[in-house]
Amino acid sequence: MSIKDRTLNGMLWSLIGEFFDKGIAFVVGIVLARLLSPREYGLVAMVTIFSSLTIPFINSGFSQALMRKEKCTQIEFSSVFYFNLLSGLLFYLILFFSAPYISRYFNEPELTKIARVIGLIIIIDAVSIIQITILNKNIDFKLQAKIIFIASILSSILGIIMAYYGFGVWSLVYKMMLFQIIRSSLLWSLNTWRPSKDFDISCLKELFGFSSKLLISGIVDKIYYNLYNLVIAKYFSAITLGLYSRADMFKSMISSNLSEIVARVAFPILATLKSEPDKLENVYKRILSSTMLITMLSLLCMAAISESMIITLIGENWRDSILYLQLLCIVGIFYPGIAITRNLLYVFGLSGLVLRLEIMSKILAVPTVIIGIIWGIKLMIIAMIISGFIEYFVRAYFAGKLINYSIWKQLFDLLPSFFISLTIGIVIYVIGSFLTMSPIFTFLIQIATSVIVVVLAMEIIKLKEYTFLKDAVKVQIQGYFGRVNANK
């Protein structure tokens, strides 16, 4: 299979997996949001602020280090597995005994029990990292998609039943737990790899030379990402955090998930092209421009229909999250680009530069947080937009130098996609503002209008990124039906 086919096939199955995971979670989230309140979502978000901080420590960048190596030994996989497991146990104990202090910090008595249950996910994730790394390294996203589908369906059923019968915040907690348990169980039962009894500290030391910078970088990134939730939880309320986190969930359906998909697929593909500069440059440009077109179109259209979407899907109780969502959609535009540039730096082994860029960009969070504390969440998100652009600009500058693709050339290539997406978003917003019918009909009309306007505009303009994506989808569909017919 060619590099192009491997990339497209990997992205397709990764996209399907994310669709099952986040798509089902999105639909179930709509149901749960009508059964639960913003406060209950805020309580879970408070706990995940701390549990998510353990992720970089458990992995320590070893996953990326293994992915970067052309050939990995059983001893290397086993040594990293045992390290992850011990780290997971250690950080769960820390969270377990810290739970009462977290509860008192936010003045929410329920958080002690919630933190101790959700914290078990740390251990479950720790034993699954190597299984996922091996599948990613082999660009086997088909199996992961199947696993995610099963775990998402079963955990969602449990969450809805518990919410319906009045379990409140615990319906969210046990839904998260069951998903992780099922996913981990299926990863181990369907994947053939098993750890041996070997543990070699020298293997960890060798991998740590690359991964140490990623560890610090991951810590900085997690602190940065959760800093805003921490500020909202501490200086506002669980209800406000619930509104913000729900708006962020809608935005992340596109930006964060697309970033994860592209990063997961692009890294092993780009790594195989390191010794072929021309191919590497061409594939990088294709991935960047195509991903950014999808991101801009999706997020700016979401911002345009946010009011009717929020009211229709989760109800009037969440109206105050509409403006948050509109602003966060602009913030999310930069996420996939940042993920792609980071991958290119990983390919060239520049983990030290990644770390310095992480620290430099996250310094921008300091004035952003201060603005939020003094002037409120809305101005904080506007500051996040500015810092997001600066972060992308700086990362793209250094990544571009590696493949002779200047930052100005990158921006010039992306501007047509941005202006077309912005124009389409404005058109859809204006159409919605003139509609005086109920929110659900307004939402349906705006959705239909979005699809029609996007397709017509792209067919008329013939943007090269759109043409590339269209042709790629055609090839994948034709290949699928060709295989189906061949098996008959």
- Tell me the H-state helices in 36-73: 38-51, 55-59, 62-68
pLDDT of residue 61 exceeding 90, the answer is: no
- Among the ranges given (9-18, 103-112, 406-415), the one the predictor scored with the smallest mean pLDDT: 9-18
What is the distance between the alpha carbons of residues 443 and 427, in angstroms, rounded to a whole number?
Answer: 14
Residue identified by tokens 């310095």 is 356
Q: Whole-angstrom Cα distance, residue 354 to residue 342?
A: 7
Amino acid 98 reads: S
C-alpha–C-alpha distance, residues 177 and 175, integer Å: 5
pTM score: 0.66
Tens digit of each residue's pLDDT (9 = 90 or more) over 338-373: 888 888 887 787 777 877 887 777 787 788 888 888
CB 339 within 8 A of CB 263: yes
- C-alpha 12/C-alpha 263 separation (Å) is 13
**More confident position, 148 or 304:** 304
pLDDT score for 93: 92
431 pLDDT higher than 70? yes
Rg of the chain over CA atoms, in angstroms? 22
